[in-house]
Amino acid sequence: MPHAALPAGTIHYRDTGHGRPVVLLHGLLQDGRLWNPVADRLAGHLRCITPDLPLGAHRVAMRPGADLSASGVAGTVADLLDHLDLRDVTIVGNDTGGVIAQVLAAHRPDRLGRLVLTSCEAFDNVPPAVFRTLPVAARLGLLPALLSALRVRPLRALPTGYGWLTRNPLPHDLIDDWIAAYYRSPDVRRDTRRFVASLGDRRLLTRLADKLADFPHPSLIVWAADDKLFPPAHAGRLGRLLNAAQVELVADSRTWLMIDQPDRTAALIRNFVEDTRLTRRGGCGGPAGTAPS
């Protein structure tokens, strides 16, 4: 598995396919493999990079002094783009990865060519209500005890676990790996504590609204119509905020659209990249119209 030695530490990533680069960001206590169903479908058309972000399931801890706030992790993603010399990048964020994508779009729009947000934190929904004890637990050093229930497969189906993320059976083999990575290393737990504590700032994303409104590139909002954590109404609000972004609601899905609706999700991302590529090549520079599904 390739890796990049960056100022904050080592980031492992998967790199598949050929064509214009798409970087897919995952959420808390997950890794890049979550995106495999979509990356597999895109690989014949686009180059897909899926990094393992330092959000709790990473195998190698970051350097002790690394900035592991949401802004710091967004800076690390920007460093990865620099390391790989990626241009005209489409950044895709899901769940907590959407926080990272929004911070990156607000502060480093020069590194991006497109922004795709799929069911994720937005506005003051940071983190979703059911998870608002996590930043407090992180600050008090109680996160390992609070997360220990995730070691028990039946308890993962609770709303306070992974239960509201998908309509399908949970991918327990993946989750086993994620939780094992968290408990295997005290330094990984240290990284996770610092990141989760930063999510206690409920105004983190609302303060970015003006910068996001000025994001100069095409944007796509892909939202699960049945999402229980991230209100579908936020998709429309983001669409109005982000320079007339294209908005798509995906039926029969919750937050993990890549698990529940991989064909639909991959098609929307592929069509968006292709349509905006043609528009940008033609000199317009603004968002394309609604992409075919």
The band of 22, judged by pLDDT with boundaries at 50, 70 and 90, is very high
Q: What is the pLDDT of residue 290?
A: 39
> What is the band of 80 on the pLDDT scale with cuts at 50, 70, 90?
very high
Lowest-pLDDT range of 29-33, 210-214, 289-293 = 289-293
Per the document, the length of the chain is 293
The CATH number corresponding to 3-281 among 3.40.630.180, 3.40.50.1820, 3.20.20.140, 3.40.50.720 equals 3.40.50.1820
- What pLDDT score was predicted for residue 293? 31
Q: Among residues of the chain, what percentage have pLDDT more than 90?
A: 92
| Mean pLDDT confidence for 8-27 | 97
Q: What pLDDT is attached to residue 284? A: 38
What's the pLDDT band for 279 if we cut at 50, 70, 90? low
| 92 against 287, higher pLDDT | 92
CB 108, CB 86: distance < 8 Å: no
Q: What is the pLDDT of residue 257?
A: 98
CB 5 within 8 A of CB 63: no
Query: How do the domains of the chain map onto residue ranges?
Result: 3-281
- Give the span between the Cα atoms of 48 and 115, in whole angstroms: 14
| Per-residue model confidence (pLDDT) at position 164 | 98
The arithmetic mean of pLDDT across residues 233-245, rounded, is 94
Query: 55-94: b or e for each residue (b if 16 or more CB lie within 10 Å)?
Result: bbbbbbbbeeebbbbbbbbbbbbbbbbeebebeebbbbbb
Q: In whole numbers, what is the pLDDT of the chain averaged over residues?
A: 94
Local structure of residue 84 (DSSP, 8 states): T
- Tens digits of residue pLDDT in 210-231: 999 999 999 999 999 999 999 9
For residue 244, the model assigns a pLDDT of 76
Query: In this structure, which amino acid lies at residue 232?
Result: P
Tell me: cis bond preceding 7? Omega within 30 of 0 counts.
no
Tens of pLDDT along 123-151?
999 999 999 999 999 999 999 999 999 99
Band of residue 243 on the pLDDT scale cut at 50, 70, 90:
confident
State the average pLDDT over residues 247-272: 98
Residue 277's pLDDT is: 76
CA-CA distance, 269 to 127, in Å (whole number)? 25
Query: pLDDT by residue (tens digit) across 257-269?
Result: 999 999 999 999 9
To the nearest 10 degrees (0 to 180), the angle between helices 172-184 and 186-198 is 100
pLDDT at 278 > cutoff 70: no
